[in-house]
Structure 1
Amino acid sequence: MPKGSLDFHLFHEEKDSKVLDWKTRYQIALGTARGLAYLHEKCRDCIIHCDIKPENILLDSELCPKVADFGLAKFVGREFSRVLTTIRGTVGYLAPEWISGMPITAKADVYSNGMTLFEIISGRRNTESVGQKFGFFPIWIARKINEDGEILSLLDHKVEGNADLEELNKACKVASWCHPR
């Protein structure tokens, strides 16, 4: 893909690289969600990707996202609602059911997509420390939304506060809803 991975654009500052503006980030988030919906609901068999993360979202010349790297994917027939499998994926994006050994569903991808959406919003990895201490990324964002309501403080500083507040608020809520409480 000509524009490389979303990971490159979010986390690797190059001298000549252009910062993704909010509108582009929002479109990438929507396109990725549409891709997952297709895999989960429109294919003959449900496809659980098992490794949704910025490295596996590739961008075409128009910065349109494509979900890539199906090496860990699991095909689940429509007659099955969940599947037992060994842990697959990347630390920081693994849904709780992977760790607890429970059967997984397409919701494991939803969880990973939520973590990725947090990263699209904030421009930081979900495993980075937040402030002076390390915290669980979804809880940190939920606390910021609920305590002071200042969602612009969650936005990647490289975007310089240039974001549609309604879209940003919606993206923060959707990312939070992707995680069990």
Structure 2
Amino acid sequence: MKKQNILIIGLILLAVISFIIFILVSGSGDKGSVDTPKDINDIINTINKNNKNILPELETMKVDIKNIDEVTSYTGLKTNDGIESIVVSAPLITAQAYSVAIVKVKDNADVEKIKQEMLDNIDMRRWICVSAEQLYITNSGNVIFSVMADKDIAKAVYNDFKKYVNNNIGKELEKSNNEENIELPSEMPAEE
């Protein structure tokens, strides 16, 4: 009888310890959700840290969504309708094309429509002397992530975002900047 009681107590202790370990493991490192400004900054900091060898010195800033020119410059969006906040990461001073924009949309906003507007209107040649080769846009819930840069850098940063949100993403959009198809103006005739 005594052995049976010890066995039952042992099994109960084992079950309690297993439950505690399960709770501790499943609760740690919940990087799948992006709900607060701190989460958005954490995304950018994680991506920058993971890619510090290939990225230039970057500045992270919150965009004033009331300034439509600034909103358009970073996202291609023509209005701030449905936008809750925008955080961007861009080079301080460099000749490297690189821009990350994280757009948090309001709960009732059409995420897919906003992503498509970004894809259609974002200026991949927004820098004076360089242009981005590749643009990737996706979302995780109501947070839209976009990156434009050289192909390899854009892909690495984009993959880090997907990893950060445990691949819990929506429709993926992408666009290449084909410099070869740029139509240059004809030369002006020489004056006589």
TM-score by length of 1: 0.23
**Richer in strand (by share):** 2
TM-score (norm 2): 0.22
Structure with higher RCO (Cα < 8 A, 6+ apart): 1
The structure with more radius of gyration: 2
